[in-house]
Amino acid sequence: MTSRLNYGPYYLPNPCSKFPAEQPLYASVAFKALGGKFVTRDSSTNNFKLSVATDTQIWGWAEVDGDMTGYATAAYDFINIIDDLNAIFEMPNDAGNTALTAAILKTLIGETCDIKVTNGIQGCDYDASSYDVVKIVGGSVDRNSLYVKINPIKFYTLGYSA
């Protein structure tokens, strides 16, 4: 089996829904090749940042290959965002020290869970269910990773306030 070096889209519908224009990236946000790339809009700057465990909604998956760190000024970095609810993304398992087994994976299919960032790497925390921003649809025991979709109930659900 060939191992991919970068976590990312596992399945994209054709055509795939994406934001029509490049979106501004929050200053100095870091994406790691070995982590997920779900993003959230920062309420104070309206720029996008890497989603963390306490984010209650997700805007989509940043189209970023490998490692990338935003510049000091967000205006210099722009990203495209996949916001297709049928898209499936591969993320590392970040459920403490629990390695993914076939038995565990079988029980996780269809469950919702949280994401978290550990040492700058965004992962899927199937043990946490406070925000339930992603839905588990599969995984790879060999890669200790999960295949997830955006939970439609948590899909950029914040209203605009002036």
As a whole number of angstroms, the distance between CA 160 and CA 81 comes to 20
CA proximity to 58, closest of 149, 119, 137, 143: 149
Provide the H-helix boundaries in the chain.
Answer: 102-108
Greater pLDDT, 18 or 148: 148
Integer CA distances (angstroms), 124 to 4, 52, 118, in order: 18, 10, 10
Greater pLDDT, 134 or 65: 134
Single pTM value for the model: 0.86
Greater pLDDT, 6 or 100: 100
User: Per-residue pLDDT for 74 more than 70?
Assistant: no
SS3 (DSSP) at 128: coil
Per-residue pLDDT tens over the stretch 31-49: 888 899 999 887 777 788 8
Torsion of CA 5, 127, 154, 15, to 10 degrees: 30
CA proximity to 114, closest of 58, 64, 66, 162: 58
Cis preceding-peptide flag for 13 (omega within 30 of 0): no
Structure confidence at residue 57 (pLDDT): 84
Per-residue pLDDT tens over the stretch 87-145: 999 999 987 767 899 999 999 999 999 999 988 889 999 999 999 999 999 999 999 99
C-beta separation of 69 from 51 below 8 A? no
Structure confidence at residue 130 (pLDDT): 92
22's tokens: 């490049």
Instruction: State the pLDDT confidence band at 2, using cuts at 50, 70 and 90.
Output: very low
